[in-house]
Structure 1
């Protein structure tokens, strides 16, 4: 059974940004060869990290939306973690990603409401 997933990858900042799609394609072939499909690849580019990872302050972010079996997704994540170019990965089922965004928005809303109430 296939599910929709969202993959976030942080790649070493030394990688040429023009090479990022080629590097990602190597890994994403795991999905396509197992019958899955890649819906969207969004390369955000070099960004400052919230905290240091592997003694680095920057990384190249990419977000990939795809449909695949859980076995193919586990294999993709395994291969990404073995590669030295990849600093961090996070794979979420699409439903989980939507729920996390909604929960974060609710937390921000509640915090703003508490600030407003405190001022009154």
Structure 2
């Protein structure tokens, strides 16, 4: 299993319970084949530029280890989740 970093931005109109349920949803997808090492919810921050008419968003960073199949499934789930504005999965080489 390789180490990865996932950072995603959620829509700013979500309440705290909505943000928490999405964080748990993505952790569950990772835990099905991998291992979540660290979850860091940064909270609502201003975006550098407007995305889909949003000027703010909830930032979440997850460090995890998983096989390639789990990363592919996570990518698929992130793409179809409407509350996700942007996301990026990066392999950690350190």
Task: Using structure 1 for the length normalisation, give the TM-score.
Answer: 0.74
CA distance in 2, matches of 1:60, 1:82: 18
Match of 1:51 in 2: 49
Match of 1:10 in 2: 9
Larger relative contact order (Cα-Cα within 8 Å, sequence gap ≥ 6): 2
Structure 1 stretches lacking a partner, 5+ long: 99-120
Structure 2 stretches lacking a partner, 5+ long: none
Could you tell me whether the CA contact under 8 Å between 1:6 and 1:94 is conserved in 2?
Answer: yes
Could you tell me whether the CA contact under 8 Å between 2:46 and 2:57 is conserved in 1?
Answer: yes
Could you tell me whether the CA contact under 8 Å between 1:7 and 1:90 is conserved in 2?
Answer: yes
CA deviation profile, 1:98-119 (whole Å, cap 9, x unmatched): 6xxxxxxxxxxxxxxxxxxxxx
CA-CA distance at 1:27 after TM superposition: 2.0
Match of 1:61 in 2: 59
Larger Rg: 1
CA-CA distance at 1:62 after TM superposition: 0.4
Match of 1:72 in 2: 70
CA-CA distance at 1:28 after TM superposition: 2.1
Q: How does 1:91-110 map to 2 (within 5 A)?
A: 91-95=89-93
Tell me which protein shows more strand as a share of its residues.
2
CA distance in 1, matches of 2:49, 2:58: 14
Match of 2:38 in 1: 40
CA-CA distance at 1:18 after TM superposition: 4.2
